[in-house]
Structure 1
Amino acid sequence: MNQSKPKILLIYTGGTIGMIRDFKSGVLKAFDFKTLLDKIPELQLLDCNIETVSFKEPIDSSNMNPRYWVQIAEVIKKSYDAFDGFVVLHGSDTMSYTASALSFMLENLAKPVVFTGSQLPIGDLRTDAKENLITSVQVASLQKDNKPIIKEVCLYFEYKLYRGNRTTKMNAEHFEAFASPNYNELAISGVHLKVNKKYLFNPDIEKPLQVHKNLDNNIALIKLFPGITKSVIQSVFETSDLKAVILETYGAGNCTTEPWFINLLEERISGGVHIINITQCLGGSVMMGHYETSIGLKKIGVISGKDITTEAAITKAMYLLGQNISKENFKSTYEMSLRGEMT
């Protein structure tokens, strides 16, 4: 093996990209990823060396949970010094959650971790799997002066590379399944692979990689809607061991001004539950106090999620709760951009 070439590790967790169709029965089945180069010989044309590792029992991404996030992080940590980049093959349904979680778990990351998947199985005639995989490997192997150009967790799908914790799945049928509503693409793949270097994350690479495995998922997500009742919200807040609530509000962070609602939130904040305000809108940011309907939230100490996605809001809360920091530090830290997840 030519050691002068970048070494890329493919990590297969499961999902459509790792399936192949039995054309007699029409049934999808997983193929052995050790034979990947046989299935996609084009990968051998890339100027890098590729090795593969797979979950012992690959999962549908609908079954993804923090335990598997830790498993992915451990694979990266174990192989970190031996490889120049990592490509994680993942089902698309929860890919933005996993990419967001890994961005927080991998502190001082100085190498690319590229998530990708597909809408159609790798063996289908019209599959998007080959292009997504080939370009993801190419992105992960990009170097300048023998050092990686990308130094963050990202997501590649349908000709676009995004910051992982800025993405959300937009479409269950189109090949262009993901979007990054509040942040520019990191790269666009066309005739040439154009990297938008000014948008790349630049970590403190002088510090060694830290892998954070303590995630606390004692959180809830409440999406407001006109007519939501006190009993519904109260039932969520009465969940045992609840530590944080992500509140999806209207527009720029607005909500009902009914006294029962504000009083209930204030009571729970006083009891130690962190409440994070994010917008239901696809694009834009929470600006508490900008409108009268959000002044009350600001006064009682609700945390501003600014322009964070729901996926990043949830995983950031899990990560910070796992750090076991004080209530005051939780609010100030949450409102800071840690991995480029908010503006």
Structure 2
Amino acid sequence: MEKAKPRILLLATGGTIASQPTGQGLAPGLDGAALTAMLPQSILANYAVTVRDILHMDSSNIQPEEWQIIARHVYENRKDFDGIVITHGTDTMAYTAAILSFMVCGIGIPVVLTGSQLPIDHPLSDGPENLRLALAMAASATPGVFVAFDRKVILGTRAVKTRTTGFDAFESVNWPYVAQVSGGGLNLNPGALPPKTGEGCTLKDAISPRVFLMKLTPGMDPELFDMLLQMHYRGIVIEAFGAGGLHFVRRDLVAKLQTAAQAGVAVVVCSQCLYEPSDFSLYQAGRLALAQGVMQGRDMTTEAAVTKLMWALGQSGDPRTVRALFEKNLAGERSMLEKRGMQHDR
């Protein structure tokens, strides 16, 4: 008896992989069926692929409303397919992968985002290779949300786009690759898989987009915090210096953190450094910030920290609940590394 083919749902959202030249530059022009038609029949013959077009957008325009649309399609189809592939533009792919990891946390099938740096109908495109990898990962029976790109598979909460044109566009930050392709095929790394929650999957797509990302620069005016409060932001993520530094001499950012905390604003501090964890208990400035109730991002990516805070604020208006949700490792986004300098081999 012939073995049943893995049932794969391909959700197309647009992006460079689907783009074609227009008078105004590249814009999404191909649908999901056209994307799969670019793959050799010998590849497609291994899967039972169903294609659905749910968006048709440059990923720069994919925002919280689109995240909810994608998450609902994933959740509603999770029991009808063995895996889901999402074709997506690269510019905001890491944000979408991170937020999906929280919205459909505990999902029991692979959900794999992929795209390309060149349109799939370009003769030198990386699109076909990335799409083949995504299909293989979607058929691997490995639950979780992932990014598949350049023969590597990255946990959804650890992916960061680090190159604008290079085919190796994404890195796995502070976490090993989930899988890599070699002469032996798709080599999975079980130690890099997300933790099992044991709670099953429930769609939790409520979100608060009122989160501001602030990159600290020397001499930044603390009055920026007053402006954010006036604009009714509910959360702030601060990329601070090194392992955990903010200035408080002459321009007292720490005092403004206290004002924000008293106003009920959730504040997360992380590092501008891409690798290794932040630790705000090391220096005086960091300890002063922690005393005002700020939450530490530890070894989270900026994309994961921003989307997780948006998601946590969407789940509850209670600051204690928001803190508990943010500080809990839900999808491999934080490993709670306590020792300075500790890092994962990739």
Whether TM-score is above 0.5 comes out as yes
Structure 1 pair 13–307 and aligned structure 2 pair: CA distance change class (3 A): same
**Which amino acid in structure 2 is aligned with residue 91 of structure 1?**
G
Query: 1:193 and 2:202 equivalent?
Result: no
| Structure 2 match to 1:257 | 248
Contact 1:109 1:203 in 2 (8 A): no
CA displacement at 1:197 relative to structure 2:
1.1
**Which amino acid in structure 2 is aligned with residue 251 of structure 1?**
G
CA distance in 2, matches of 1:21, 1:267: 50
CA displacement at 1:171 relative to structure 2:
0.6
| Structure 1 match to 2:235 | 244
Query: 1:78 and 2:59 equivalent?
Result: no
* 3-state DSSP of counterpart to 1:34: helix
Contact 1:110 1:203 in 2 (8 A): no
* 3-state DSSP of counterpart to 1:5: coil
Q: RMSD in angstroms over aligned alpha carbons?
A: 2.1
Q: Which of these residues, 132, 141, 144, is aligned with residue 134 of structure 1?
A: 132
Contact 2:206 2:314 in 1 (8 A): yes
Contact 1:43 1:134 in 2 (8 A): no
Q: Write the mapping of 1:1-343 to structure 2, written as runs, cut at 5 A.
A: 4-20=4-20, 30-42=29-41, 44-45=43-44, 47-55=46-54, 57-142=55-140, 148=141, 150-191=142-183, 192-204=185-197, 207-240=199-232, 242-258=233-249, 260-343=252-335
Structure 1 pair 17–333 and aligned structure 2 pair: CA distance change class (3 A): same
Residues 21-46 of structure 1: CA distance to partner in whole angstroms, max 9, x if unpaired? 69xxx976612322444321246455
Alignment identity in percent?
32
Structure 1 pair 35–265 and aligned structure 2 pair: CA distance change class (3 A): closer
Residues 160-201 of structure 1: CA distance to partner in whole angstroms, max 9, x if unpaired? 100011111101011111111211100011222211111112
**Which amino acid in structure 2 is aligned with residue 229 of structure 1?**
D
**Which amino acid in structure 2 is aligned with residue 198 of structure 1?**
G
CA displacement at 1:111 relative to structure 2:
0.6
Structure 1 pair 98–245 and aligned structure 2 pair: CA distance change class (3 A): same
Moved more, 27-36 or 276-285: 27-36
Structure 1 pair 141–218 and aligned structure 2 pair: CA distance change class (3 A): same
Residues 49-85 of structure 1: CA distance to partner in whole angstroms, max 9, x if unpaired? 1111012x50100001111111111111221111010
Residues 283-306 of structure 1: CA distance to partner in whole angstroms, max 9, x if unpaired? 111211112221101111111111
Contact 1:201 1:339 in 2 (8 A): yes
CA distance in 2, matches of 1:45, 1:239: 50
* 3-state DSSP of counterpart to 1:210: coil
* 3-state DSSP of counterpart to 1:114: strand
Question: Unaligned stretches of 5+ in structure 2?
Answer: 336-346
* 3-state DSSP of counterpart to 2:270: strand
TM-score by length of 2: 0.90
TM-score by length of 1: 0.91
Contact 1:20 1:124 in 2 (8 A): no
* 3-state DSSP of counterpart to 2:246: coil
**Which amino acid in structure 2 is aligned with residue 292 of structure 1?**
Q
Contact 1:247 1:276 in 2 (8 A): yes
* 3-state DSSP of counterpart to 1:98: helix
Structure 1 pair 63–226 and aligned structure 2 pair: CA distance change class (3 A): same
Structure 1 pair 28–103 and aligned structure 2 pair: CA distance change class (3 A): closer
Contact 1:151 1:203 in 2 (8 A): no
* 3-state DSSP of counterpart to 2:147: strand
CA distance in 1, matches of 2:76, 2:255: 48
* 3-state DSSP of counterpart to 1:334: helix
Moved more, 89-98 or 57-66: 57-66
